[in-house]
Amino acid sequence: MATTLFHNIIFGPIQSRRLGVSLGVNLLPAHGKWCNFDCIYCECGWNAGRRSDRRLPARKQVRDALQDKLQSMQQRNTLPDAITFSGNGEPTLHPQFAEIMDDTIALRNRLAPHTKICVLSNATNLGDDRVFHALQKTDKPILKMDAAIESSARRINQPQGGYAIARVVEQLQRFKGQFTLQTLFLRGSFDGVRFDNSAPGEVEKWLEAVRQTRPREIMLYTINRDTPAQTLQKLTKEELLAIAQKVAAVNTWGATLQVAE
């Protein structure tokens, strides 16, 4: 297992499968993961053993680091397609997430007006209005829902607190379609139990949640890097495309579909 942590506030830019040239921002600890999920495929590894460092970057540190990086990229004429909040866990857990989004929007408008602001989130904090409104202000809130059957979501994402699919669907509906839904499909076993969120019954329930929330964009993908659990299998491109076809069959509202292996 060679999972990855990001040791700086700003990382990259990297060529992203989904976002183009993407400059990463990590609002989580520099040497530990902090997330209220513990996904069995998480590229940052397990929560356990990575909790020793809980220090978060201050708002000013984030603003200064991003400003420095954008200024140097501007001078070299290499501004990124996206500024993407991801990093070592769930970005919306940062207590100043909303203020940091405001700072980022101001910096982007001043230094990189064509760059999109993206946030990868597990959609667990949407009940916090400050988080919800901050996400609404970004160009691309990318919100995770890997399964619409509760037991599968619990197995795949291992939420650390209360988690209810109906509540997540309700919160996603508040975006009125102005979000990207991100779902990772995989199969395998974990703790001796087999699972497959691409099985027909799973996809049917998930499609129901898709129809209820009507995201403007849907990203389907599968495992692409090392995972903390060693008993997982990625889907083939053909399998992902077959799910995409099922989405296309119900997609009456014109969502854009992205499929990445």
Judged by the rule CB under 6 A, the positions of this chain that interact with ligand SF4 are 35, 37-39, 42, 44, 89-90, 122
Q: Which residue has the tokens 């990189």?
A: 112
User: Rounded CA gap, 156 and 189, in Å?
Assistant: 10
Question: What's the min distance (Å) between Cβ of 110 and ligand SF4?
Answer: 30
Q: Which of 47, 26, 16 is nearest to 182 (CA)?
A: 16
Question: What's the min distance (Å) between Cβ of 76 and ligand SF4?
Answer: 31
Question: What's the min distance (Å) between Cβ of 39 and ligand SF4?
Answer: 3
Rank residues 64 and 128 by Cβ distance to ligand SF4 and give the closer one: 128
Structure tokens at 259: 């499929």
Question: What's the min distance (Å) between Cβ of 47 and ligand SF4?
Answer: 7
Rank residues 35 and 79 by Cβ distance to ligand SF4 and give the closer one: 35
Rank residues 39 and 66 by Cβ distance to ligand SF4 and give the closer one: 39
Contact (CB, 8 A) for 152 and 195:
yes
Rank residues 27 and 79 by Cβ distance to ligand SF4 and give the closer one: 27
User: Which 8-state DSSP code applies to residue 9?
Assistant: S
Question: What's the min distance (Å) between Cβ of 69 and ligand SF4?
Answer: 22
Contact (CB, 8 A) for 149 and 170:
no
Partners of 190 in the beta sheet? 193
Rank residues 23 and 42 by Cβ distance to ligand SF4 and give the closer one: 42
Q: Which of 139, 92, 123, 136 is nearest to 209 (CA)?
A: 123
Rank residues 91 and 215 by Cβ distance to ligand SF4 and give the closer one: 91
Question: What's the min distance (Å) between Cβ of 80 and ligand SF4?
Answer: 21
What 3-state class would DSSP assign to 13? strand
User: H helices within the chain, ranges in order?
Assistant: 59-75, 97-111, 129-137, 150-157, 165-173, 200-213, 237-250
